[in-house]
Amino acid sequence: MAPKKAKKRAEGASSNVFSMFEQAQIQEFKEAFTIMDQNRDGFIDKNDLRDTFAALGRLNVKQEEIDDMLKEASGPINFTVFLTMFGEKLKGADPEETILNAFKVFDPEGTGTLKKDFVTEMLTTQADRFSPEEMEQMFVAFPPDVAGNLDYKNLVHIITHGEEKDQE
C-alpha cells in the first residue's frame, strides 16, 4: 500500500512544478534535459554529466564535482526532478540572472565568454534552431572579439536592459 501513497505524493509534487513555468519554458527545459540525457534512458546520471561536459569541451571534470551535482537532486534525475531543481534555483531570480545562468552552464571556467563557433553550433542545431541569417544578425549586433569569443555577460545585459553595460 505504501508505494501507491508515495506515487501519489510524487505526482502532486510534479504538477506543482509544472505550474511554475509556461509551456514554452517547459519545452525548453525538456530539450535541455534531452541533450544532457546522452544515453536516452530518461535519467541524467554521472555518465550523462561527464559526456555532456565532454561535448562542451571540458574533459577534466573531477568525479567529486559530478557527485556534488548529483547530490543536489532528491533521487534519480528524471525530467520532473530536473525541472524541480531548476524551479528551486530560479525562484526569485530575475530574468538577467536566469539568462546569465543559462550561458554559465556552457562556461564552467567562468570566463564570461563563449567561442563564436560553439555558440553558432548550439543555436543552429539545438532547441529552437536559429537560421544562418539570424546568426549573422546576432553577430552583427554582438560582434565577437578578435579571438572569436562572444562576451555573453554584455549580451545578456543588452537583452535585459536594452543598452550596453559600462566597461569596468
Report pLDDT for 157.
Answer: 83
User: Do 96-161 and 20-90 have the same topology in CATH?
Assistant: yes
Question: Is 20-90 a domain of CATH 3.60.20.10?
Answer: no
Q: Where are the beta strands (DSSP E) in the chain?
A: 113-115, 149-151
150 in Cβ contact with 144 (< 8 Å): yes
Report pLDDT for 11.
Answer: 41
Best CA proximity match to 21, nearest among 32, 5, 10: 32
Report pLDDT for 67.
Answer: 93
Domain spanning 96-161: which CATH class is it, in words? mainly alpha
31 in Cβ contact with 127 (< 8 Å): yes
Domain borders along the chain are 20-90, 96-161
Report pLDDT for 65.
Answer: 92
Report pLDDT for 5.
Answer: 42
The whole model's pTM is what? Answer: 0.50
Q: What is the mean pLDDT of each run of 10 residues along the chain (168 residues)?
A: 42 62 87 92 95 86 92 92 84 76 85 90 83 88 90 84 61
Best CA proximity match to 138, nearest among 146, 127, 154: 154
Rounded CA-CA distance 109/112 in Å is: 8
